[in-house]
Amino acid sequence: MKVRCIKITNPHSGRDESPRDSWFTVGKEYLVLEIYLDPANKRSMYRIEADNGVTPVLTTITDFVIVSGDIPSSWVAMQTDEMITFGPSAWMQPGFWEAFFDRDDNMGKIYKQEKIKMNI
């Protein structure tokens, strides 16, 4: 699934910060790595790799439009409490993202392997 950034909203102030912030650029296309739907808190987010090509960031869906709606065959759906996540099952294991951001080499390899599957 691919999306194009159409605006950049500051998550704290709600103000439009287009055309660029430290993570994304308006007009640029991005690969969606995961989708989070949290109806209880009225939040819908994409996980997208930032412009630095390294950091997977959670960002609001409303700042993007879908360019390609093809869902990777490696994705699964998982429900926890009142939230639903769509993405690679390996990333949904408890503690995956914490270990990834703590620079666990094994989690980094899993991240790269799953991302490669999505680009096919």
* pLDDT tens, position by position, 34-55: 999 998 888 899 999 999 888 9
112 in a structural domain: no
Q: Is residue 76 part of a domain?
A: yes
Exposure of 34 in the CB half-sphere (CA atoms within 13 A): 23
In angstroms, the CA 118 to CA 72 distance is 5
Q: In the prediction, which pLDDT does 53 show?
A: 87
Q: Residue 114 falls within a domain, yes or no?
A: no
Q: Specify the number of domains making up the chain.
A: 1
Residue 50 belongs to domain spanning: 2-88
> Does 26 map to a domain?
yes
Q: Report the predicted TM-score, pTM, of the whole model to 2 decimal places.
A: 0.87
Distance separating alpha carbons of residues 105 and 113, to the nearest angstrom: 12
Does the residue 62 lie in any domain?
A: yes
d(CA 40, CA 31): 26
Provide the phi-psi class of 27: left if phi over 0, else alpha when psi is between -120 and 50, else beta. left
Residue 110: count of CB within 10 angstroms of its CB: 18
- Is the separation of the CB atoms in 18 and 29 below 8 Å? no
